[in-house]
């Protein structure tokens, strides 16, 4: 596995790989790999000839009061794990390499960025869309793989790729979970043991909601209330949002659940903000 | 010459051209070709194996009170001219093809879009950057050719291509002028014979400014005043802006001209807004 830090070098490698007929898959990450990331790499390995993983903690998607500085990093361990999972190139640019002096271009995906995490984290998806466009242009992959845990991010990227006619297939990978159901996240390392116990509330709330909907409940308000009440029974939790809406465009669906719905949650457990989601069909 | 109207078809042609080792040049246009466009096509012919011209009157770069509806169009004549100038493919998508229902992604180039035409035409460069990114992603050219008449547009596109790491070389072509010096523009057709006489004031003001600067005048205010006074002697003229500033980043340069400066003008002649510019070295 080669470690690449320069944009021109990475672009040249990708150009040459493409020229020689290789199918390239990109797994964009912010590093500090957990099993979720490794599953994306395994998936990439299966559907391509050459796997590129990017590791970049992207400053433009963090708000001024967010956890950019304390975001967990372990490049050495990440490189070892990536190599073990058959990655061919790991692309680790510096912030200066990605955002040189005078940088001033941003991509905004409007509607689908507005609610949910976009409402709680203004500018977040602008940063995500911009950095993903850059990474796609640099690594020129045929396929790019994203986890469904960041469901809204996935929709933002799909929309951007479609709207801007970018030449890449966006591949979604199901959420990878701990044995007890907690969605894998680098931010889970922030949790104290007591908070870790409460972190399960997101997953158990989703399972509860699924059960309630499958049992015939079709009121969005009732289902949302059940979710809220459930989460609030866990200590250290503070709900950011409970969203029940259209899985395609993230618009609210009104009072009645008629078809498949996205249930998306953001919950502070202590000071750590966790997200999780599920698409439920009545 | 082939006329292509569908995005997937155009993308497939470009993929295949690239695959077979052709160097592709794109000339993005809004049609109603004049000698300026034809010079860009001739240039493209010289520096590539395959020339694609796009013809799309892009609605997102027109303001609500601008001339989208009356913008001159003559597709048949344009196709004949393009063919005569050795163009291989002319790409003429519909607005629905480019902006289907649900379209919501926009590219903003910040600083360099703010002044000059960006100040007079809010949202204009957002529309330009977005459509050019789409056209570049669809046609996948190695080189894209833009006229220097739209100087700010050229900088916006260079900045976008750089900032987003897009794989294309932006080629600038000098302003093409009528025998009396008027910069070629599709909007010149809006001018009445009397207005056409006054339209020369932009070019003659630029020549005057060049003369004044080369003669040793180094005050931006004095040069700008000379330009204004000159233009105001012509009937039907109303100055939108006179800009003297940095040719690289379009920032103001303060009171004193020390090195090369961009002089950029926007002037209404009757109801027609014309632009012109020159880079002058003292």
Distance, CA of B250 to CA of B244 (rounded, Å): 9
What global pTM score does this model have?
0.95
Residues of A in contact with B107 (CB under 8 A): 105-108, 164
CA distances to A45, A46, A64, A152 from A170, in Å: 15, 15, 30, 14
Q: Are both B272 and B152 inside the same structural domain? A: no
Nearest CA in chain A to B99: A163
Q: Which pLDDT does position B204 carry in this prediction?
A: 98
Among the three residues A115, A141, A173, which one is the final residue of a domain in this structure? A173
What CATH number does residue B28 fall under?
3.40.50.620
Task: State yes or no: is A37 an active-site residue.
Answer: yes
The DSSP line for A91-115 is: E---HHHHS-TT--EEEEE-HHHHS
The number of folded domains in chain A is: 2
- The answer to whether the Cβ–Cβ distance between A105 and B105 falls below 8 Å is no
Distance, CA of A112 to CA of B47 (rounded, Å): 41
Residue with tokens 């994203």: A146
Q: Which pLDDT does position A24 carry in this prediction?
A: 98
Other beta carbons less than 10 A from residue B42's beta carbon = 16
Residues of A in contact with B130 (CB under 8 A): 164
B180 is a domain residue: no
Q: Which pLDDT does position A55 carry in this prediction?
A: 98
A66 is a domain residue: yes
Among the three residues A117, A149, A173, which one is the final residue of a domain in this structure? A173
The arithmetic mean of pLDDT across residues B140-164, rounded, is 98
What is the token pair recorded at B220?
């931006």
Strands B143-147 and B105-109: unpaired
Instruction: Provide CB contacts within 8 A for B282, sequence distance 6+.
Output: B213, B214, B216, B218, B257, B258, B259, B260, B261
A248 is a domain residue: yes
A181 is a domain residue: no
Catalytic entry in B34, B37, B142, B211: B37
CA dihedral A54, A57, A60, A62 (to 10 degrees): 140
Q: Which pLDDT does position B45 carry in this prediction?
A: 98
- The answer to whether the Cβ–Cβ distance between B105 and A108 falls below 8 Å is yes
Q: Which pLDDT does position A147 carry in this prediction?
A: 97
CB B225 within 8 A of CB B253: no
- Across the interface, of B11, B104, B137, the residue whose CB is closest to A112 is B104
Name the pLDDT band for B3 (thresholds 50, 70, 90).
Answer: very high
- Structural domain boundaries, residue A256: 186-276
Q: Are both B141 and B260 inside the same structural domain? A: no
**Closest residue by Cα to residue B128 from B54, B40, B65, B39:** B54
Tell me the nearest-neighbour CA distance from B113 into chain A, angstroms.
Answer: 10
Supply the ipTM of this predicted assembly.
0.94
Give me the tens of pLDDT residue by residue for chain A, a chain 282 residues long: 999 999 999 999 999 999 999 999 999 999 999 999 999 999 999 999 999 999 999 999 999 989 999 999 999 999 999 999 999 999 999 999 999 999 999 999 999 999 899 998 999 999 999 999 999 999 999 999 999 999 999 999 999 999 999 999 999 999 999 999 999 999 999 999 999 999 999 999 999 999 999 999 999 999 999 999 999 999 999 999 999 999 999 999 989 999 999 999 999 999 999 999 999 999
Q: Identify each DSSP E strand in A75-227 by its residue range.
A: 89-91, 105-109, 143-147, 169-173
Q: Are both B161 and B220 inside the same structural domain? A: no
Q: Are both B169 and B197 inside the same structural domain? A: no
Q: Are both B81 and B117 inside the same structural domain? A: yes
- Across the interface, of A7, A107, A249, the residue whose CB is closest to B107 is A107
Tell me the nearest-neighbour CA distance from A168 into chain B, angstroms.
Answer: 10
**Closest residue by Cα to residue A212 from A257, A145, A276, A265:** A257
Q: Are both B169 and B190 inside the same structural domain? A: no
Q: What is the mean pLDDT of chain B?
A: 97
Residue A258 C-alpha from the chain's centroid: 27
Q: Are both A142 and A27 inside the same structural domain? A: yes
- The answer to whether the Cβ–Cβ distance between A137 and B167 falls below 8 Å is yes
Distance, CA of A267 to CA of A198 (rounded, Å): 10
Element (H, E) at B222: helix B220-232
Among the three residues A126, A150, A173, which one is the final residue of a domain in this structure? A173
Distance, CA of B171 to CA of A64 (rounded, Å): 38
Q: Are both A62 and A155 inside the same structural domain? A: yes
């Amino acid at each position: 596995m080669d470690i690449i830090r320069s944009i021109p070098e990475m672009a040249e490698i990708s150009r040459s790989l493409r020229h020689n007929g290789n199918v390239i898959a990109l797994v964009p990450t912010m590093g500090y790999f957990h099993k979720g990331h490794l599953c994306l790499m395994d998936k990439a390995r299966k559907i391509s000839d050459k796997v590129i993983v990017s590791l970049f903690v992207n400053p433009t998607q963090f708000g001024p009061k967010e956890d950019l500085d304390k975001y967990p990093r372990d490049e050495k361990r990440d490189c070892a794990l990536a190599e073990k999972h058959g990655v061919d190139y790991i692309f680790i640019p510096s912030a200066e390499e990605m955002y040189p002096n005078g940088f001033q271009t941003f991509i905004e995906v409007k509607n689908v960025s507005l609610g949910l995490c976009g409402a709680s984290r203004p500018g977040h998806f602008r940063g995500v869309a911009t950095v993903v466009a850059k990474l796609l242009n640099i690594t020129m992959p045929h396929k790019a793989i994203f986890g469904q845990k960041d469901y809204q991010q996935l929709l933002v990227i799909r929309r951007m790729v479609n709207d801007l006619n970018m030449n890449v297939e966006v591949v979604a990978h199901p959420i990878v979970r701990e044995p007890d159901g907690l969605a894998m996240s680098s931010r889970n390392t922030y949790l104290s043991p007591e908070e870790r116990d409460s972190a399960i509330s997101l997953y158990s709330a989703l399972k509860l909601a699924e059960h309630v909907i499958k049992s015939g409940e079709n009121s969005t308000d009732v289902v949302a209330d059940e979710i809220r009440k459930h989460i609030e029974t866990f200590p250290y939790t503070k709900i950011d949002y409970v969203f029940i809406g259209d899985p395609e465009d993230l618009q609210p669906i009104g009072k009645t659940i008629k078809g498949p719905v996205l249930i998306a949650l953001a919950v502070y457990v202590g000071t750590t903000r966790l997200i999780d989601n599920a698409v439920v069909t009545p």
